[in-house]
Amino acid sequence: MPFSSLGLSHSLLRAVSAKAYTQPTPIQAAVIPAALQGRDVLGSAQTGSGKTMAFALPLLQQLERMPLENPRRVFGLILLPTRELCTQVGEEILALAAHLSRAVKVSIVFGGVSINPQMLRLRGGTDIVVATPGRLLDLLDHNALSISHVKTLVLDEADRLFDLGFADELGRILQLLPEQRQNLFFSATFPPAVQTLAHTLLHNPLRVEVQPEPQSAPDIKQRAIAVDSGRRTQLLRHLIQENHWSRVLVFVASKHAADMIAEKLRKVHINAEPFHGDLSQGKRTQVLADFKASRLSVVIATDVAARGLDIAQLPVVVNFDLPRSAVDYTHRIGRTGRAGESGVALSFVSVDSEAHFRLIEKRQGLSGVLSLALEQIEGFEPVQTARVAAPLSEQALLDRANGGIKGKRPSKKDKLRAAAREQ
């Protein structure tokens, strides 16, 4: 099926051709015709499935047919969980819009940078806003823009929006939008909060679920290494030096751990930097640019980097701390083995985290004969033994991975002390 069969305008077909795309992906083939008809869409697809073009092309075509207003009123609103995703999505929309018969103003706004330049760029209005929820509300509070005339709302990575605590912000934003609008809703997973929002938000939606084709699965070699928690930093340093890894993306559970591990690696002359939400946008942008250009060897990141980042030819991903869920595990290791390249994904597994790792394996379909054998690295063999305790159910393991039982969770200070002891 060619793009020309989806009902796109000649200008957008030129835009697609300029990007050297010949065939739509499954989610594009399903979503674009429905969205052009004005239908709501509920979509689920893996990272790299082409979701951005699936919602951007119909949005741009509908906007192209609208009369140009002065000042401009926001026609399309796209909400995303992170600054990096905002930048990537916004830049792709700008590239597609360059081929339209009328000029389109796209505003990319997010926190972590001064709000004043963003407010100045919004003078005279804008056609499309690509935003994180918090910064959008800041701009609305400053009367820098209005969303009362939005025709199309796009929520992308909806599950991640909830994971990052944007539920209240989303509720406030939805109250400010007009009731009559099109809603395009995309989420990799559908936990209860996301299902409730989708049920409230969407009207007779087209449901699209695209599973990756088996033959297109990335070439990622997964390994699990047994190690005591307190020796993980030493093991990481050893593996980097022993294998001469040119670039490594390391995932940790906290911002504090990212800062501390990066500092320890720098002390042994390994070029490492942390990457997390407390850094300024300028710093995060610089870290990514240096990493992509191989000026930086190691990035220690929280899960803010697990989705949406496309780092070409990244050879190794390390789970220093295990992710909270199998879905997060998939997104983490998916940073390597992209665009036909091969990659390696390592997970450090301590005696206390092995049960959680086996649960992730089970959810990944790797249990039984397919489960990963726990390797041991000479000189780093674990010596800690498991504490004797009653076996935990799957739900109890998930509760533990997601922060424990409310009211019995460790405080922030307790977590920092524990992280310091482990390092």
Domain locations in the chain as residue ranges: 3-210, 218-422
User: 3-210: which CATH topology?
Assistant: Rossmann fold (3.40.50)
Section 251-271 average pLDDT: 95
Phi, psi torsion values for 390, nearest 5 degrees: -65, 140
> How many Cβ atoms sit within 10 Å of the Cβ of residue 358?
18
Q: Residue 272 forms beta bridges with which residues?
A: 298
The chain-wide mean pLDDT, for the chain, equals 86
Measured distance CA(191)–CA(171) in Å, rounded: 17
Q: Which residue has the tokens 């959680």?
A: 356
More confident residue, 49 or 116: 116
How much is the pLDDT for 28? Answer: 93
- Fold match, 3-210 / 218-422: yes
Measured distance CA(29)–CA(100) in Å, rounded: 21
Q: Which residue has the tokens 């992280």?
A: 419
Tokens coding 199: 């049920």
Rounded to 5°, the CA angle 358-364-366 comes to 65
- Whether 92 shows a pLDDT value over 90: the answer reads yes
pLDDT one-digit tens code per residue, 93-121:
999 999 898 899 999 999 888 999 999 99
Domain 218-422, CATH among 3.40.830.10, 3.40.50.10470, 3.40.50.300, 1.10.10.10: 3.40.50.300
- Whether 394 shows a pLDDT value over 60: the answer reads no
Section 298-313 average pLDDT: 78
pLDDT one-digit tens code per residue, 208-258:
987 655 445 678 899 999 999 999 999 999 999 999 999 999 999 999 999
Closest CA to 276 of 290, 298, 295, 259: 259
Measured distance CA(62)–CA(297) in Å, rounded: 44
How much is the pLDDT for 387? Answer: 59
How much is the pLDDT for 278? Answer: 85
Measured distance CA(257)–CA(233) in Å, rounded: 10
pLDDT one-digit tens code per residue, 272-284:
999 988 888 788 8
- Whether 340 shows a pLDDT value over 80: the answer reads no
Percent of the chain with pLDDT over 90: 56
How much is the pLDDT for 215? Answer: 45
Per DSSP (E only), the strands in 254-314 are 272-275, 298-301
Closest CA to 332 of 304, 294, 359: 304
- Strands 152-155 and 182-186, by their bridges, are parallel
Measured distance CA(299)–CA(164) in Å, rounded: 21
Closest CA to 56 of 77, 26, 71, 70: 77
How much is the pLDDT for 405? Answer: 41
User: What are the DSSP calls for 126-173, one per residue?
Assistant: -SEEEE-HHHHHHHHHTTS---TT-SEEEE-SHHHHHHTT-HHHHHHH
Section 366-384 average pLDDT: 84
- Whether 153 shows a pLDDT value over 70: the answer reads yes
**Virtual torsion, Cα 342, 348, 352, 354, nearest 10 deg:** 30
User: Is the Cβ–Cβ distance between 245 and 294 less than 8 Å?
Assistant: no
- Whether 152 shows a pLDDT value over 50: the answer reads yes
**Residue 366 — pLDDT band, cuts 50, 70, 90?**
confident
62-66, 132-136, 290-294: range with highest mean pLDDT: 132-136
Tokens coding 65: 């047919």
- Whether 158 shows a pLDDT value over 60: the answer reads yes
How much is the pLDDT for 339? Answer: 65
Section 250-275 average pLDDT: 95
Section 15-40 average pLDDT: 90
How much is the pLDDT for 404? Answer: 47
How much is the pLDDT for 322? Answer: 94
CA 1 remoteness from chain centre: 29
User: Is the Cβ–Cβ distance between 64 and 100 less than 8 Å?
Assistant: yes
Tokens coding 26: 């499954």
Of the listed ranges 47-51, 66-70, 319-323, 344-348, the one predicted with least confidence: 47-51
The contacts of residue 192 (CB under 8 Å, 6+ apart) are none
Closest CA to 402 of 313, 287, 323: 323
- Whether 409 shows a pLDDT value over 90: the answer reads no
DSSP letter at 20 equals T
DSSP letter at 264 equals H
**Helix or strand holding residue 303 (H, E):** none
